[in-house]
């Protein structure tokens, strides 16, 4: 028979955040003693903030771990199980072990899980071949090994565009490495690169201004809006893709190129196309095509401008009814695509997947790098269909444009699109 637990406050996650919250609640209110339940399957507690110093050679990794039981605050209970399902409408949750927890208040502090396999080649080479990370107890010691044995060359420190456990950690270890390189006499033979998926060194301008001065003083090269997508540990080669993100419009677009043929395509281009053209030129690419995941209403598309200035061919959705068709097709070189359509730019193949829900004609593009010898896809461009931790709004047409009845239809279409999306390989980069 499954166990049932009752708690005034249930806290999912017994890391530093979960334990701190439990301790503060119990210290503020003695009546909560015995009514706070921490839920976490791990029997070890890791103080991950120390890993930066471990990677910099200033602390021992053993000092960052303790028995979980020794840190559970007095007055709190600990359920050593993993949460599987939340039912907030019923104030309950279920664990993988089959237990039910009933609560009055719920705190979710489960932390972030790292998927090493989301970057091609990373899982196979992490902890060796000069590839290391401070975000894991298993690999953090390899950071210090690489730093203290470094004899000059290129040292790349990366930060993804997605949320991370500590936004400053990638810079901290970089500055520690820079200091050690200077002490060991190899700094003058070293090029340090900070490659970040973000648009600047730090999100808060007050701190960013100071950090930019630090970067300049330390002679560190910066590359912003670039995302690490592949690592070849044997050849020590890291591959990045450029990110084109308009913060004011929350609009993301992409430039995808074929190195063998020098041809490139822009996906969901914004009105200002200069940054695509400038980036393509720097990378030795020529923009020959452009495409859109859907008809955009929240910004002006640069697709027609790319046709005019670059001679690009457009690949546009032919899904949806007569109300969801492009009106300017007679003016441009184009090809209409639907579910199952395939087109290539150089040796890069794009397969079309119809993903309605946000809009009826919405499509996604599955990418396979045939030029690199791949037989399986590596990523998918989802437009306004799928985001990090969220999906596109199916009610936008009804609420913003007043098209009655479209929210329910859009939600049902979104559900069906998500089922197709779920069937795609887990390794696919989104």
Is 134 a residue whose pLDDT tops 70? yes
- What pLDDT is recorded for position 97? 95
Is 75 a residue whose pLDDT tops 80? yes
Q: Does one domain contain both 180 and 242?
A: yes
Is 297 a residue whose pLDDT tops 70? no
- Nearest partner of 430 among 372, 374, 385, judged by Cα: 385
Is 397 a residue whose pLDDT tops 80? no
DSSP reduced 3-state for 352 = strand
In a domain, 49, yes or no: yes
Binning the chain into helix, strand and coil, the percentages to the nearest 5 are 30, 30, 40
In a domain, 53, yes or no: yes
First to last CA, the chain: 41
Q: What is the DSSP letter of 128?
A: S
Contact 378, 367 (CB under 8 A): yes
In a domain, 237, yes or no: yes
- What pLDDT is recorded for position 299? 62
Mean pLDDT of 19-26: 97
Segments forming the whole domain that contains residue 164: 114-247
Distance CA 376, CA 374 (A): 6
CATH number reported for the structural domain that contains residue 80 in this entry: 3.50.50.60
Is 387 a residue whose pLDDT tops 80? yes
Query: In terms of C-beta distances under 8 Å and separation of at least 24 residues, what long-range contacts does 184-190 make, across chains too?
Result: 184/148, 184/150, 186/150, 186/151, 186/152, 189/151, 189/152, 189/153, 190/150, 190/152, 190/153, 190/154, 190/155
- What pLDDT is recorded for position 117? 85
DSSP reduced 3-state for 39 = strand
Residue environment code for 374-395, b if the CB has 16+ CB neighbours within 10 A, otherwise e: eeebbbbbbbbbbeeeebbbbe
Is 250 a residue whose pLDDT tops 70? no
Q: Does one domain contain both 137 and 42?
A: no
Residue 56 pLDDT class (50, 70, 90 cuts): very high
Looking at 212, 247, 282, which one is the last position of a domain?
247
- Nearest partner of 160 among 180, 135, 136, judged by Cα: 135
For residues 86 and 247, the model is more confident at 86
Is 160 a residue whose pLDDT tops 70? yes
Q: Does one domain contain both 130 and 83?
A: no
Mean pLDDT of 371-386: 88
Distance CA 212, CA 167 (A): 16
- What pLDDT is recorded for position 199? 80
How many independent structural domains does the chain possess? 2
- What pLDDT is recorded for position 29? 94
> What percentage of the chain reaches a pLDDT higher than 90?
69
Backbone angles phi, psi at 420, to 5 degrees: -65, -40
pTM above 0.85, yes or no: no
Q: Does one domain contain both 128 and 90?
A: no
Is 178 a residue whose pLDDT tops 90? yes
In a domain, 276, yes or no: no
Contact 124, 233 (CB under 8 A): yes
Q: Does one domain contain both 11 and 82?
A: yes
In a domain, 196, yes or no: yes
Q: Does one domain contain both 59 and 129?
A: no
Residue environment code for 237-254, b if the CB has 16+ CB neighbours within 10 A, otherwise e: ebebbbbbbeeeeebbbb
* pLDDT tens profile 346-361: 999 999 999 999 889 9
Is 247 a residue whose pLDDT tops 70? no
Residue 301 pLDDT class (50, 70, 90 cuts): confident
Q: Does one domain contain both 168 and 120?
A: yes
> What percentage of the chain reaches a pLDDT higher than 70?
97
Contact 227, 161 (CB under 8 A): yes
- What pLDDT is recorded for position 362? 94
Mean per-residue pLDDT of the chain? 91
Is 246 a residue whose pLDDT tops 70? no
Q: Does one domain contain both 125 and 95?
A: no
CA angle 429/138/233 to nearest 5° reads 50
Residue 245 pLDDT class (50, 70, 90 cuts): low
Q: Does one domain contain both 145 and 224?
A: yes
Q: Does one domain contain both 80 and 124?
A: no
Mean pLDDT of 257-261: 90
Residue 240 pLDDT class (50, 70, 90 cuts): confident
36-50, 299-313, 338-352: which range is least confident on average? Answer: 299-313
CA torsion 50→52→53→55, rounded to 10°?
A: 120
H and E: helices and strands count for the chain:
10, 24
In a domain, 20, yes or no: yes
Q: Does one domain contain both 25 and 99?
A: yes
Residue 248 pLDDT class (50, 70, 90 cuts): low
Looking at 73, 108, 143, which one is the last position of a domain?
108
Mean pLDDT of 415-429: 91
In a domain, 359, yes or no: no
Mean pLDDT of 54-82: 96
Mean pLDDT of 29-53: 95
Count CA within 13 A, CB hemisphere, residue 241.
23
- What pLDDT is recorded for position 252? 82
In a domain, 205, yes or no: yes
Mean pLDDT of 82-97: 95
Q: Does one domain contain both 232 and 218?
A: yes
Looking at 108, 143, 176, which one is the last position of a domain?
108
Residue environment code for 295-329, b if the CB has 16+ CB neighbours within 10 A, otherwise e: bbeebebbbbbbbeebebbbbbbbbbeeebebeee
Is 375 a residue whose pLDDT tops 90? no
Mean pLDDT of 217-235: 92
């Amino acid at each position: 028979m499954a166990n049932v637990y009752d708690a005034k406050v249930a806290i999912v996650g017994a890391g530093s955040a979960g334990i701190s919250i439990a301790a503060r609640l119990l210290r503020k209110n003695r009546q909560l003693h015995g009514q706070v339940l921490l839920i976490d399957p791990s029997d070890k507690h890791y103080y991950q903030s120390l890993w930066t110093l471990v990677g910099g050679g200033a602390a021992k990794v053993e000092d960052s771990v303790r028995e979980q039981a020794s840190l559970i605050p007095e007055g709190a209970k600990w359920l050593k199980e993993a949460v599987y399902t939340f039912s907030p409408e019923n104030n309950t949750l279920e664990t993988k072990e089959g237990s039910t927890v009933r609560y009055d208040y719920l705190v979710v502090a489960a932390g972030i899980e790292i998927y090493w396999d989301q970057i091609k080649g990373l899982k196979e080479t992490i902890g060796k071949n000069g590839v290391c990370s401070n975000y894991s107890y298993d690999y953090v010691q390899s950071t210090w090994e690489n730093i203290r044995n470094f004899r000059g060359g290129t040292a790349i420190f990366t930060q993804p565009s997605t949320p991370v456990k500590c936004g400053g950690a990638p810079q901290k270890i970089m500055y520690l490495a820079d200091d050690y390189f200077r002490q060991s006499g190899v700094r003058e033979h070293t090029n340090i690169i900070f490659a970040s998926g973000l648009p600047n060194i730090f999100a808060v301008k007050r701190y960013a201004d100071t950090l930019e001065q630090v970067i300049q003083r330390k002679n560190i090269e910066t590359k912003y809006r670039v995302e690490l997508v592949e690592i070849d540990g044997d050849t020590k080669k890291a591959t990045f893709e450029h990110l084109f993100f308009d913060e004011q419009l929350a609009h993301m677009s992409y430039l995808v190129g074929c190195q063998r043929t020098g041809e490139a395509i822009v996906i969901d281009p914004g009105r200002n196309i200069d940054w695509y053209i400038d980036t393509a030129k720097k990378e030795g690419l020529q923009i020959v095509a452009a495409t859109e995941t859907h008809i955009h209403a929240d910004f002006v598309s640069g697709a027609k401008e790319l046709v005019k200035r670059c001679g690009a061919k457009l690949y546009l959705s032919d899904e949806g009814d007569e109300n969801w068709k492009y009106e300017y097709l007679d003016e441009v070189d184009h090809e209409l695509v639907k579910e199952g359509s395939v087109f290539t730019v150089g040796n890069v193949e794009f397969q079309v997947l119809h993903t309605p829900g946000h809009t009826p004609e919405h499509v996604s593009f599955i990418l396979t790098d045939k030029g690199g010898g791949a037989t399986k896809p590596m990523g998918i461009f989802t437009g306004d269909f799928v985001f990090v931790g969220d999906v596109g709004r199916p009610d936008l047409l009804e609420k913003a444009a007043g098209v009655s009845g479209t929210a329910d239809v859009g939600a049902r279409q979104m559900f069906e699109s998500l089922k197709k999306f779920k069937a795609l390989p887990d390794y696919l980069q989104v």
